[in-house]
Amino acid sequence: MEKLREKISFKDMGLLLVGAVIYSIGTHAFMVPANIAPGGASGIALMVNYLTDLPVGALTLVLNIPLLILAWFYLSHRFAITTAVASTVCSLILDMAVAPFCPVYNGDRMLCSLYGGVIVGVGMAMIFMTGTTTGGTDIVGYLLQKKRPHMSIGRALLIVDSVILVFSIFVFGNIEAALFGLIALYAQTKVIDSIIYGGDAGSMATVVTKKPDGIAAKIIYELDRSATLLPARGAYSKQDTSVLLCTVRKSQFAKLKKIVYDEDPDAFVMVTETSEVLGQGFREFKDTI
């Protein structure tokens, strides 16, 4: 516990509290009145709230308890403790600080799904930035991935959230609940990614070429970027060649392809989309810590 306290800084606590407030506002003001359950333990809690009128925050915490016990035994103690703290803070703020005072929006459900997804996404991103989660499907996803190592966390979460969306059709009595829930889930995911990974997404090109110097020179001159050159040898041809690694902004990628083609039409190019690029010419490391 002492090590855990050392790692929880004032900045993290501030982010957790602010994130919990924003997350609670999005849930209470938009998700609850529109009967939208966009996955997760909170999605199940929203459906139970619709049937029983019990507080959403308390329901979310109760639903997380068995999952936290499983996380304690099958994942890690630290993960279980930090997730329990975040889940408790979010639940208390939702029921005691936000629900009694925050007005709700009873208008168009499309607006509820969009604004609810965006606001909840902002709150969750701030919570994730502290190195923890709000529990729910995150725990289930990690448990599924541990049981089936070949399954990615993203796919595991998608499966669990899809099941919750399907159930919401029967609970709320209309298929629009799942459709609007899907929109909210998509908006929430995009916002989380954009905040956590930043706006410096780019494309990384791995170019196998026999003319690396000409390509590198044009990249430096025309794109104001640099590249890394690595010596290589073809496994089939047994001939010496070079591998050029270069990362550019997405807006520069079309120009990069033209440079490679003009210099070496026989080059072999592999492209990887990067969610964030840090370092010289992009976002500084210090701005992300």
Picking from 53, 62, 44, the residue whose alpha carbon sits closest to that of residue 170 is 44
Q: Report d(CA 220, CA 206) in Å as an integer.
A: 16
**Do 13 and 135 fall within a single domain?**
yes
Q: What is the pLDDT of residue 283?
A: 58
**Do 89 and 157 fall within a single domain?**
yes
Torsion of CA 79, 85, 91, 92, to 10 degrees: 180
DSSP 187-225: HHHHHHHHHHH-S--EEEEEEEES-HHHHHHHHHHHHS-
Distances (CA, A) of 62 to 66, 194, 236, 287: 8, 31, 59, 37
Distances (CA, A) of 272 to 2, 159, 178: 41, 25, 33
Q: Residue ranges of the chain with pLDDT lower than 70?
A: 1-8, 145, 149-157, 197-201, 251, 275-289
Q: Report d(CA 246, CA 230) in Å as an integer.
A: 11
**Do 176 and 236 fall within a single domain?**
no
Q: What's the DSSP call for residue 283?
A: B
**Do 110 and 245 fall within a single domain?**
no
Of 162, 179, 197, the one marking the end of a domain is 197
**Do 162 and 245 fall within a single domain?**
no
- Give Cβ neighbours of residue 221 (< 8 Å, ≥ 6 apart): none
**Do 239 and 97 fall within a single domain?**
no
**Do 59 and 12 fall within a single domain?**
yes
Q: Report d(CA 22, CA 90) in Å as an integer.
A: 10
Q: What is the pLDDT of residue 287?
A: 55
Domain count, the chain: 2
**Do 23 and 147 fall within a single domain?**
yes
Q: What are phi and psi of 73, to 5 degrees?
A: -85, -35
**Do 165 and 54 fall within a single domain?**
yes
Residue with tokens 């807006």: 251
**Do 239 and 162 fall within a single domain?**
no
**Do 151 and 171 fall within a single domain?**
yes
Single-letter amino acid code for the residue at 185: L
Task: Record the pTM.
Answer: 0.71
Pair of tokens at residue 249: 């902004």
Of 177, 197, 217, the one marking the end of a domain is 197
Of 154, 178, 197, the one marking the end of a domain is 197
Pair of tokens at residue 69: 């016990």
Q: What is the pLDDT of residue 3?
A: 47
Q: Report d(CA 262, CA 215) in Å as an integer.
A: 9
Q: Is the alpha carbon torsion for 191, 196, 201, 204 positive or negative?
A: negative
Range of the domain at 180: 2-197
Pair of tokens at residue 225: 């970027």
Distances (CA, A) of 17 to 23, 163, 279: 10, 30, 30
Report the DSSP beta bridge partners of residue 287.
none
Picking from 117, 115, 106, 119, the residue whose alpha carbon sits closest to that of residue 34 is 106
Q: Report d(CA 164, CA 265) in Å as an integer.
A: 50
**Do 7 and 43 fall within a single domain?**
yes
Domain with residue 235: its CATH number is 3.30.70.120
